[in-house]
Each structure stands twice: as structure tokens, then as C-alpha cells.
Structure 1
């Protein structure tokens, strides 16, 4: 049997042509990409788990049209960001250095999937004015996830070596199979958007998966373990306005999770989306951008 043609490096590799980087106080390198309007209102985008800055490409067109500069960093151990034992509690410090590096004194934040708690943790930063959660994980006391996510969370706590092997195997298959393989972890099929055909969305999802594991699985395993533990802040202490976008057909994060998040956050609203996990991001992405924009903007 003939071997499959090689995948072009630009289809998934976290190369320097897409990402920029800064040096954090402890010497680590943080990589980030910017999409949309370079001169627009800044919005910090926190990718999912496993995931990377690449998934923010799905919102590049609506960000540009809305006048948003979408800043998507890779968290430690992801893409071109060097690894370190950074927790959800520590992440706002990294985010603050990125905002300072870009000379940003006011911004919104969006958290997708496992990036939700990381975005919400940034509520304590004076720069963050509003937060949008899109298909966000919840803390264990209210969060309900699919069986696969529960299994992964258990492995991250009790057998991280086995989870590492599983992620390496998934990456091996993702490199060699059609992009629909990667899509299968977040949706039944790739959706279309106003700017992207379904096959383009699928390629972005595969690139996101592969970039997430470019440095190996250690960063992802740590985040999976963090997501299965109690959050380091109380939902009731989040003072900024939050909009929760929750897919009603989401098999990764149960609809009850979004409802519970919106109920417990002091200043929150719930937007129900008739879609699955990935479809919630593509369908409600523009609304999420609008929700975190400064209200004085037209």
C-alpha cells in the first residue's frame, strides 16, 4: 500500500511565521499569535485543553470585521511556549506580562472549553473588563463532562504516563489521517462559517490538535489534571460581567454546566446555542467577541 502524502508543515506546525514571543520574568518563552484587526480592541483568547492558539483562527474574520485584536497565547508546554508548572492560579500572572508587553491597559477575555477557567481566573487583572465563556469547563462540583473527558481526567491524576502514551498515539493518527479524525473529538462533523468552508475548519482543528502536542504531552496532562480539581477561586468572587455561551448539543461539556456557571457567577448571563462543542465556538464566536468589547465602541 502506498504511504499517505506528507502533510505540509505550514498546515500545522507552530512556526515562527505565525507566532511571536516574549520572555517572561523567569526566563520562559511565551508564544502568542494575533488575529483580526491589529489596531482593534484587544481580546485575550484562552484556548481549550488540549488545544493551542491555532483554534483562534476560527474567529479571525469576525474579529477583523468587528474591530477586535484577538490575542491568542499558548499556555506553558503548548506550541512554542516553554513548559513550566503553571496552575490556573498562576496563569493570570503570565497573561498580565503579555498584556504589559503589548502595552494594553484594557481588554476583554474569551475562554473556550478547557480555557474557560484560565480566562475567568484573569478577572483579577485590572486590564480585564469582561469575560465570555464558550463551551467552558466548570469546576468539579458543578461541571459535567462527557465520558471521554472523565476518563482523561482520571488518567491525568492516577496514570499520567498512560495518558501521555494516549496523546502521542492520537497525534500519530492525526498526522496520518484526514482532518476529520481530529474533528471527531469535538464535533460530529466540521461546521461551515461565513468565512470558512467545512474543510478549512477541519484543517484548523487538526492543526490545533497537533500544535497542542508539538512539545510533547506534559503541558496537556498538567492542564487535564488541573481541570479535574477544584478551581483556585470562588465563582462568587468574580466581579466582572461574564457571558456564558453553552451548546445545547455539546457532548464534551454538558448544557447543565453552562447553566450552573451563569447562575453562580454574580454578574452573568446565559446564551444557549443550538450546536455541539465546536459548533458553539463557530456559531457564537462573533457574539462572544461583541460581549467582551468595550461598550463605548461602535
Structure 2
């Protein structure tokens, strides 16, 4: 049964303190000193974060202590409060992620692709020019026909099937403000430990800044019309095209170009182009490609406006008007289907709805509610306004928990639930089997959420500085199968998007996810009156098959299906199996 003691949930990014945590003993001074030292060093040393986690685990396990009520001395608390204040005052760390650097070093359109064509990283200009968002699949439609072979050679080389290392590509942008075409450099980026290389595509063109027209008019005496013609000459490089765009004769354009050349002291068209390029490039000295915030990579997101002003965002995959299935993601950084996975659902006539749970993506979190209540309100609003009929519910890890609680409250909501992957709410005994970092964070989120929040804040800073690999190493280094999955750049492009989706509103959402994972489900699992199939990945450290089988004894409506060759990233490791179960269950009812 759920613990009856009162707990105030961490519901925002404020530094929450429970009074009972500030009163403690001073018997574990050495551990406290280690916590303080590693906490401060974590600002500059990426490995100190691991030492901080280990020190907190040691504190939780100190003889005579209480994991549910860890005691914190006033001295330790004071130091941690000072550390948090220090974090707040620090500038954002300098990026060292090679993929993000590739798109931020240039002010123009830039993106990095996985070997399979998924957008791993893209800047704002790239979103406009290429018409894609991070996590989406980039088809070859924006590559000019005369550059397709070079592009395909790079894709082959990225998987070791060729030796092409770089190329100059002609891009056909989807946005008119980038002209009919522009040139881009394309080259391979090899990341340590990855099974394939990434492909960077960066514009070689110089964008025409908003202040250039004023500079031409003030420095060279050009008229407004002449500055517009100069812009078109710089962009189109063809007098006939300029005449067509302005709706004037070719003779008029030639006369205007000659006047511009005379005013600017350019003896030839080439000199004029060189001078315009020099002026345009001056506008971009020191500029970087801006990083976009998370957007729905599918471009299908819709918002539900709640009476209290909150927003619930949702998207879908598969067949737009197909049989409805609702999927809630969890802590594992997975939710986007690979391209062939979405095609399977489309062919099967299934619409997989994916609401963004509170705090994720563009869905609003309610700080006044505990995490389960917050999730249930959002889920109910989505089901009422979008689905409005019994359907299959699919939960990825902790995403299963709100589905089960709602199914108990209203059995007519779902005709079945497919639970994918381990959640400590379903099997609390699994927490002790988890790797150290997951185990410690889950304990702290349950008993000392202010400590978990502080660690999440520090970890988020590390991730922003050192890139996705910093997180992937710590999350999945204990399982060889997971390591194999995250070495595949096609999968990491989708995992990267899931990380951005969870962290768009800040690190507090991560802590709320930890708290949701700890929500005890004993009563709800006993009372569940609809079928639930639990796909248990056998290589997930939290899974013990004998313990899972107890669920079948607790409630005969629950069926446990062992899934070999799968761990925390089961959604990608056994995607075909999961889709098989979704398709079969959705069409059975």
C-alpha cells in the first residue's frame, strides 16, 4: 500500500526543504565532506558528479540511518544551499558537444544527420531552410539532382561503405528567403564509440542581414530601389531572374546595376559581388547559429486549452484516422518511432496518439499538485477531448502508471493496457537491483526531493556542456545491450529528441518523473479490471522474472511476457515486437 505519511512533492524548480531534513546528526562527517567536495567540483569536473552520487548512496546506507528519512546536518544543508546559489549565478556552460558545435559555429542554415537520415541536431536557420526539426527524417527532396550522388556517397561512407569524406552540395531550400538554391559543405563527424559517422551539412552562403540596406544607402548613396536590386543581385546572381522578380525589363535592371557599380566603385559584376559579400559578411562577425527549442519533430502537434489556462500538447503517428491507441512515455528517453515503424502503423490503420505529459514538451505542469494527480488531470482532458471512446493504452515504463490508475477509476476508458519496460511503481523490489545512479536518484526523489532536484540541476548543466554522450554513458553504461543501442547514431538521434522533450521546461520535469516512478501501485494493480500485458525486458537490471510473475498471482487480468534481448531501451531494441502487440491488441477490440 502507498506510504501514508504526508509528503510535499517537488513541483517546480524552487529549492524545496522539508523541515525534518534540516535537523540531523553529525555522525557521518566524512561522508558529508565528500558530498560537499564532489558537489562543488562537479561544476568543472564531469566525473565529480559520479562521486557525488556515490557519496549520497553511502549516506543513505550509513548504519542506523533511514533511507526513507535521510538526516542532513545544518552544516551540510548550508553548504548545499550555497552551492545551489552559486549554480544560479554561473553563466551557461560553453558547449563541447561536437554535433551542436557544428551547427552553432555558422550563422546560416546547418544540420547534422545520422547515417539513416534522421536529424540529430539543427539550428533555427536550418529549420527554416531545410523544413525539418530535430528528430525528424530528412528526405533527399532538398538536395539538388546534380548533388544527389555526392550526398548518397556520404551516406554510404557514414556506415563504412565508402571513402567519401566531404562534398559541396546544392540545396533547394523550402523557404523563399534563402533563394532558389544555395551551396553547402557536407562532411563526416566521427564520434567516439559510435557505430557510424554523422553527416554535417552547413550553408556556405552569407545571409543578407536586415541592416545591410541601410549601410548601402548611407555609405554609397544607393536609393531604396537600388539597395533592393543589390540584394537580388547578391541572392540570384542573374539579371534575367532579377527582372522577372521585380516585374521590370532586363534593360532597366542592367541600367540599375551599372548605377550601383558606379556608386560603389566596382568595375565589374564580379567585383560588385565580392564587395557585397564583404559587406554582408561583416554583419555576421561573431554571430552563431541559434539553437531552437524543442518542437514536435512530426509537425503535427495540437494543444488542448484547459479552463485554468494550462495547455496539454499532443501529436500522433501512423494513420491519421485509424483505430486510436494512446501512448504515454516514461523515463527512458524513447517515444519517437523509426520511419519504418510509423509506416507499419499506417498500413495497419492505427493512429498512435502521444500526449506530452505535464512538464514535457509544450504541456503545462501544475506545481500545486502531486505528480500523479497532475498526470491524471491531463490524461483525462486528452481522453475526453480527443479520443472519447475505449482504446488501448500503451505505457513506456513510468508512463504505464497513470494509465493503470485511470483504468481503475474508470474501467471504460481502456479495453486493455500494454505496459512496456520496468517501473519501480509496478515492482518496487527492482530498485535495489538498479545501477547506482538510478538507484540513488530514485531513493532521493522519494525521501529527499530537494537533494534530487539539486543533483538534477547539476546534471542538466553537465549535459548542456558535455552533450548527450555525458548522459548516455551514465544512464546505460552498466548494460552491454544498451551500450550497443546508443552506439547507433540513428537511435541516438531519436533519443536526443526525447531528452529535449523531457527537459524543455527544465530539470524539474526529470525529478517529477523520478517521483512518478516511485508511486506505489499495489492497490491499483490488485483492482485493475481490464487486461494488462506487461512486456518485461529480461536484460533490464530492474527486472526479476520471478518477482514479475507475482503480478499474475495478484491479479489474473495481468499477463507477463518475458522479452529477451531487451533492456531499458526496449522500445528500440524490440520495436517490431512492441508494434506486433499494439496492432494485435488494437484490432482485437
- TM-score w.r.t. the length of structure 1 is 0.83
Q: Distance in 2 between matches of 1:2 and 1:130?
A: 42
13-22 or 202-211: which moved more? Answer: 13-22
**1:278 Cα deviation from its structure 2 partner:** 4.4
**1:266 Cα deviation from its structure 2 partner:** 3.2
Partner of 1:44: 326
Q: Distance in 1 between matches of 2:361 and 2:547?
A: 29
Q: Distance in 2 between matches of 1:170 and 1:254?
A: 32
Match of 1:168 among 460, 480, 504: 460
Q: Distance in 2 between matches of 1:36 and 1:226?
A: 28
1:8 matched to 2:292? The reply is no
Match of 1:235 among 525, 539, 545: 525
Match of 1:215 among 498, 501, 505: 505
- Asked if the contact 2:371–2:515 (Cα under 8 Å) also holds between the matched residues in 1, the reply is no
Partner of 2:440: 151
Match of 1:115 among 399, 406, 409: 399
Q: Distance in 2 between matches of 1:263 and 1:163?
A: 38
Deviation above 6 Å: which 4+ runs of structure 1?
A: none
Q: Distance in 1 between matches of 2:457 and 2:554?
A: 37
SS in 1 for 2:483: coil
**1:15 Cα deviation from its structure 2 partner:** 1.4
SS in 2 for 1:81: coil
- Asked if the contact 2:332–2:568 (Cα under 8 Å) also holds between the matched residues in 1, the reply is no
Partner of 2:361: 79
Instruction: Tell which structure's C-alpha radius of gyration is larger.
Output: 2
Equivalent runs, 1:1-298 vs 2, <5 Å = 4-6=101-103, 7-9=121-123, 10-11=133-134, 13-15=293-295, 17-49=299-331, 51=333, 55-58=335-338, 59-84=341-366, 85-123=369-407, 124-125=409-410, 126-139=412-425, 142-145=428-431, 146-147=434-435, 148-156=437-445, 157-158=447-448, 159-169=451-461, 171-172=463-464, 175=467, 177=469, 184=476, 187-190=482-485, 198-231=488-521, 233-256=523-546, 258-282=548-572, 283=574, 284-296=577-589
- Asked if the contact 1:76–1:82 (Cα under 8 Å) also holds between the matched residues in 2, the reply is yes
Q: Distance in 1 between matches of 2:97 and 2:294?
A: 28
- TM-score w.r.t. the length of structure 2 is 0.44
Q: Distance in 2 between matches of 1:227 and 1:204?
A: 22
Q: Distance in 2 between matches of 1:27 and 1:48?
A: 25
SS in 1 for 2:588: coil
Unaligned regions of 5+ residues in structure 1, if any?
Answer: 193-197
- Asked if the contact 1:116–1:136 (Cα under 8 Å) also holds between the matched residues in 2, the reply is no
**1:181 Cα deviation from its structure 2 partner:** 5.2
Residues 172, 18 of structure 1: alpha-carbon distance in 2 compared, 3 angstrom cutoff: farther
SS in 1 for 2:430: coil
29-38 or 10-19: which moved more? Answer: 10-19
SS in 2 for 1:144: helix
Q: Distance in 2 between matches of 1:74 and 1:167?
A: 23
SS in 2 for 1:222: helix
Residues 140, 33 of structure 1: alpha-carbon distance in 2 compared, 3 angstrom cutoff: closer
Q: Distance in 2 between matches of 1:232 and 1:255?
A: 18
Number of residues paired by the alignment? 289
Superposed CA offset, 1:17-67 (max 9, x none): 34221112322111111001111111110101265xx61424533322322
Q: Which fold has the larger relative contact order, with Cα–Cα distance below 8 Å and residues 6 or more apart in sequence?
A: 1
Q: Distance in 2 between matches of 1:257 and 1:40?
A: 37
Q: Distance in 2 between matches of 1:189 and 1:162?
A: 31
- Asked if the contact 2:422–2:568 (Cα under 8 Å) also holds between the matched residues in 1, the reply is no
Q: Distance in 1 between matches of 2:570 and 2:332?
A: 17
200-209 or 226-235: which moved more? Answer: 226-235
Residues 111, 276 of structure 1: alpha-carbon distance in 2 compared, 3 angstrom cutoff: same
Q: Distance in 1 between matches of 2:373 and 2:332?
A: 19
Q: Distance in 2 between matches of 1:232 and 1:261?
A: 10
Instruction: Please report the RMSD computed on the Cα atoms of aligned residues, expressed in angstroms.
Output: 3.1
**1:101 Cα deviation from its structure 2 partner:** 1.7
